[in-house]
Amino acid sequence: MMQVFGGKHVPEMRGPVENRVYVGNLPWQATWQDLKDHMKKAGEVTYADIFKEASGRSQGCGLVAYSTADAAQRATFELHDSELFGRKLLVREDRDDTSEGRQGCRVYVGNLAWS
């Protein structure tokens, strides 16, 4: 189930944070099923989803939950820089235990002073 924050759809957090990984640089055409199928090389995937804009367009990143912390750690070592549809994925531990503040994959900072 997706949650909506600031008009964007973010994956529901499932399982303990130590069992989850963040996956970045996903190809736009990748579905949650493509992500799950790719990530199960490291262990049993219990949940996979992709961040989406309010329009339904992928934001190019997602979350994957594993049945164990060992599988999540294995994914960070074995699947970081692996390819999905020709794109190298960034795989790291999920650092956020709440869905608050998960506004997507991009940060824009504007109107900064020159000095």
> Which one has a higher pLDDT value, 25 or 16?
25
Q: Identify the pLDDT of residue 102.
A: 47
Rounded average pLDDT over 41-66: 93
Q: Identify the pLDDT of residue 101.
A: 44
Question: How much is the pTM?
Answer: 0.76
Residue 36 has pLDDT above 80, yes or no: yes
- In this structure, the strands spanning 45-52 and 20-24 are unpaired
Alpha-carbon span 73 to 93, nearest angstrom: 7
Residue owning tokens 């069992």:
19
Q: Identify the pLDDT of residue 115.
A: 63
Alpha-carbon span 89 to 39, nearest angstrom: 11
Q: Lowest-confidence range among 45-54, 69-78, 99-108?
A: 99-108
Residue owning tokens 């992500």:
35
